[in-house]
Amino acid sequence: MTARPEDIPAHDADLRPDTVVVAGGRPAPEHDAPVGPSIVLTSTYRGSGELRDADRAYGRFSNPTWEDVEDVLARLERAELPGLLYASGLAAIASVLSLVPAGGRLVLPRHSYQGSLALASDLEARGLLSVTTVDVADTEQTVAALEGADALWLESPTNPMLEVADVPALLAAARERGVLSCVDNTFATPLVQRPLEHGADVVVHSVTKYLAGHSDVVLGAAVTSDPELRGRLKKHRSLHGAIPGPFEAWLALRGMRTLALRVERSTTTAGELARRLAEHPAVREVRYPGLPEDPGHARAAAQMDGFGSVVAIVPAGDVGAVEAAVDALRLWTPATSLGGVESLVERRRRHHEEPHSVPETLLRLSVGIENVEDLWADLDRALSGIDR
Ligand SMILES: *Cc1c(COP(=O)(O)O)cnc(C)c1O
């Protein structure tokens, strides 16, 4: 059995995040106990008479393997309650959006993850809520939109434009106005940014990305320190059924063991590639908050413990030329998604739902953990083929 949060020795509360990812979610330290957690495959639990633990009534309500991951996520986000694991990031997002009262108004960054935008506009089309989109880097505009709103959704840096929001100021503004706030912390990871510490009500993750880190599972999570909100989210998960499989949960935890190493390495490489790309004759624009000249740099430096490992570039040339450059890459994989050990590249506007304010030729680079020189050589060669 996994140690529950109440059994965690007091000294564990002080463990640093790069230790938590390794030490968390392990069996209680008894003699002969396995060192790593087991995958508990069960749809139901033994019991008769009065239920002693509602979580152990049925496999849709809880699972010990999920709880291992939920414990680690809570400790990484410095939450007071265990996280909630979901079948996907979007399932977690759908659960959080169910907290917005019927007919309520949601404030959402115009460059949010396109699945979040699509879900919000679907809910709006069905009359369940109304949506105001904002340029989240513009604090004044975003705060103005909060008047009379019911919920604030934040993503920072945004996907794929890498705009940086003033997270502490916007969360404080939401709190003052009694507006529910949620931060999608997928891009930053809890090693780099902990929105609950800035007053967010809920944090969500696409665990699919950096947390699991190997492009082999689809999984999501929501984390909150508010017992009432957690109760509602959990009820939504149980009733709507978007629960993870125990094997996927175990894989995610196995991936999280190396989160700190992966983030450190890919962030260093992303910074180096961004600097070189900014000098490349075939690149018109680079967006990366780690570059001193990036509009989000000062904010990111103030509120994040690193700049992440997604870089956006706008190469010279038209869509055809940029697609040809992508096809010329040998090491970088052309694919959607991000946060895995392998470097991926995607022209985001290949998705029809992508907002048209994202340049047609923008390439999103998800920097992995390969050798920086190999990544650079491949990029440089492919980009140099663009006729500019
Ligand atoms: C991928 C992603 C999601 C959706 O997560 P899934 O696991 O694919 O459902 C949500 N937010 C962001 C920022 C993402 O990158």
Ligand 1, atom 8: nearest CA belongs to which residue? 89
Instruction: Identify the burial level of 34 via C-beta atoms within 10 angstroms of its C-beta, where 0-12 means exposed, 13-18 middle and 19 or more buried.
Output: exposed
| Site to substitute for ligand 1 among 208, 210, 337, 346, most atoms within 8 A of C-beta | 208
Query: Which residue out of 150, 166, 184, 201 is catalytically annotated?
Result: 184
Q: What per-residue confidence (pLDDT) applies to 388?
A: 66
Token reading at 258 = 């190396």
**Alpha helix stretches (DSSP H) within 57-138:** 64-76, 89-97, 114-125
CA–CA separation, 244 and 87 (whole Å): 4
Nearest-CA neighbor of 77 among 141, 24, 140, 142? 24
Q: Report DSSP letters for 126-185, one per residue.
A: TTSEEEEEE-TT-HHHHHHHTTT-SEEEEESS-TTT-----HHHHHHHHHHTT-EEEEE-
For residue range 110-144, list pLDDT tens digits in order.
999 999 999 999 999 999 999 999 999 999 999 99
- The single residue listed with the structure tokens 């706008």 is 314
Q: Is the pLDDT of residue 8 over 70?
A: no
Residues 267-290: what's their mean pLDDT? 98
Handedness of CA 83, 85, 86, 90 (dihedral sign): positive
CA 154 to the chain's CA centroid: 11
Query: Which residue out of 26, 86, 113, 230 is catalytically annotated?
Result: 113
- pTM for the whole thing? 0.95
| Site to substitute for ligand 1 among 153, 192, 204, 206, most atoms within 8 A of C-beta | 206
Cα of first residue to Cα of last residue in the chain, in angstroms, is 61
For residue range 180-215, list pLDDT tens digits in order.
999 999 999 999 999 999 999 999 999 999 999 999
Q: What per-residue confidence (pLDDT) applies to 309?
A: 97
Ligand 1, atom 6: nearest CA belongs to which residue? 89
Nearest-CA neighbor of 259 among 213, 217, 193? 213
CA–CA separation, 198 and 185 (whole Å): 13
SS3 65: helix
184 is catalytic: yes
For residue range 298-337, list pLDDT tens digits in order.
999 999 999 999 999 999 999 999 999 999 999 999 999 9
* Residue 40, number of CB atoms within 10 A of its CB: 18
Residue 115 Cβ contacting ligand 1 at under 6 Å:
yes
113 is catalytic: yes
